[in-house]
Structure 1
Amino acid sequence: METKRSGPIGRPRGFDADEALERAMLVFWEHGYEGASLANLTDAMGISSTSMYAAFGNKEELFRKALERYTEGPSGYLPRALEEPTALGVATAILAGTVRTTTRPANPPGCLGVQGALTASDSGQEVRDLLVAWRNNGYACIRERFQRAVDDGDLPPRTDPGLLARYLTTFGYGIAVQAASGVSRDELKEMADAALRNWPPS
């Protein structure tokens, strides 16, 4: 008597790649690139290491995909902030988004783009370089927006857009580090408000 097969033997169990990537992002966010072991990642993703390699590539490639997800998701406030009509509005929205993202209870504290590879060894150099480029890209976008503000008369003509963008991004990354250290959302909001009190008048 023949037995009907419902499907091929040994077929890997399906999984939601989008959900798996979300979970990997959270592991990298919490532990950093080197601190996130393959066991941590595959356990959180609910898949085997074989399935992880097949779907996402090696650990570095998985991190790159996780950073892309972070950029479009938790860090997605930046492109929206750049659309604010004034430079002060841009700065306010960026710092508010930073405080909100780095202190959200459902997520790890701090910023994946800041803490992801601060202490990586030589083997993590490419990831360090990736995050340096990620931060520099954010800075460049803000600098360009502030240059437009100078050209439009929204910022004083003698304003240095690069210096102002560097000030804002440095302060924002400082907020992320403080958040990772357990500083409260309310205190970080007060810090952001204080940083904007001396904003250049239009």
Structure 2
Amino acid sequence: MAGRPRSFDRETALAAAVEQFWRNGYEETSISTLTRAMGITAPSLYAAFGDKDHLFEEASEAYFRRTCEGVEAAAAQPRVHDAISHLLDGTARAHTAPDTPPGCLMLTEPRLTAQRRAVTAQIKDRLDQGVSDGDLPPGTSTAQLASFLVAVMRGMSGSARDGADAEELLAIAANAMAVLPPAP
């Protein structure tokens, strides 16, 4: 016997869940908040997504895929300085976009450590490529530089949550760029 067909669009509901977790964090997002935002009942949520943990996992994966698109677009820039500038400027604009909550779910949610490590690794890989390409001096500590850049991005996220606008975050990005060693 087949169950009743869904009366809602799963992807639309998932996008609403992403926004709630992003806006409020995992701990502060209740099932009633989720069902209200998603436009579904609690039984429908459980049937479609399992429990809150499973919904959060799926929502954070969807968010992470979107975030990685920005990191990958930045990494595709031909020179490492352009790549990092693109990454930081994109971060500033994304954290202050009017159609999304301020800040970054991945950078502020304690449960997403693995995703933060993956982004740090992507940035380190691009910095390593910059050393190989001659855009950064040999001996540049790419691991430390990647950690610094992620710390800057986390700070930008916190500033956006506290009300900073894009102009403020772009200034932070410009100052962070000054730390990058020049090409030899």
TM-score after normalising by structure 1: 0.85
* Alignment match, 1:113: 106
* Kept in 2: contact 1:103–1:109 (CA 8 A): yes
* Kept in 2: contact 1:29–1:112 (CA 8 A): yes
Aligned pairs (5 A) from 1:30-179: 30-73=23-66, 76-117=69-110, 128=111, 131-179=112-160
Of 147-156 and 15-24, the range deviating more from structure 2: 147-156
* Alignment match, 1:197: 178
> Following TM superposition, by how much is the alpha carbon of 1:115 offset from its aligned partner in structure 2, in angstroms?
2.2
- The CA deviation string for residues 40-73 of structure 1, in whole angstroms up to 9 with x for no partner, is 0011101111111111111111111111111223
> Following TM superposition, by how much is the alpha carbon of 1:81 offset from its aligned partner in structure 2, in angstroms?
0.8
The RMSD of aligned alpha carbons is: 1.5
- The CA deviation string for residues 105-148 of structure 1, in whole angstroms up to 9 with x for no partner, is 1111111012223xxxxxxxxxx2xx111101100111111112
Aligned mates of 1:13, 1:147 — CA distance in 2: 48
Specify every segment of 5 or more residues in structure 2 that has no aligned partner in the other structure, as ranges. Answer: none
Aligned mates of 2:170, 2:5 — CA distance in 1: 48
* Kept in 1: contact 2:68–2:119 (CA 8 A): no
Aligned mates of 2:41, 2:179 — CA distance in 1: 53
Aligned mates of 1:75, 1:40 — CA distance in 2: 27
* Alignment match, 1:122: none
> Following TM superposition, by how much is the alpha carbon of 1:74 offset from its aligned partner in structure 2, in angstroms?
5.1
Specify every segment of 5 or more residues in structure 1 that has no aligned partner in the other structure, as ranges. Answer: 1-9, 118-127
- In structure 2, what residue type is equivalent to 1:33? Y
More helix by share: 2
Residue-pair matches, total: 181
Aligned pairs (5 A) from 1:10-29: 11=4, 14-29=7-22
TM-score after normalising by structure 2: 0.93
Aligned mates of 2:106, 2:121 — CA distance in 1: 15
- Mark the structure with the bigger radius of gyration: 1
Aligned mates of 1:198, 1:71 — CA distance in 2: 27
Aligned mates of 1:74, 1:138 — CA distance in 2: 9
* Kept in 1: contact 2:95–2:157 (CA 8 A): yes
- In structure 2, what residue type is equivalent to 1:49? A
% identical equivalent positions: 40
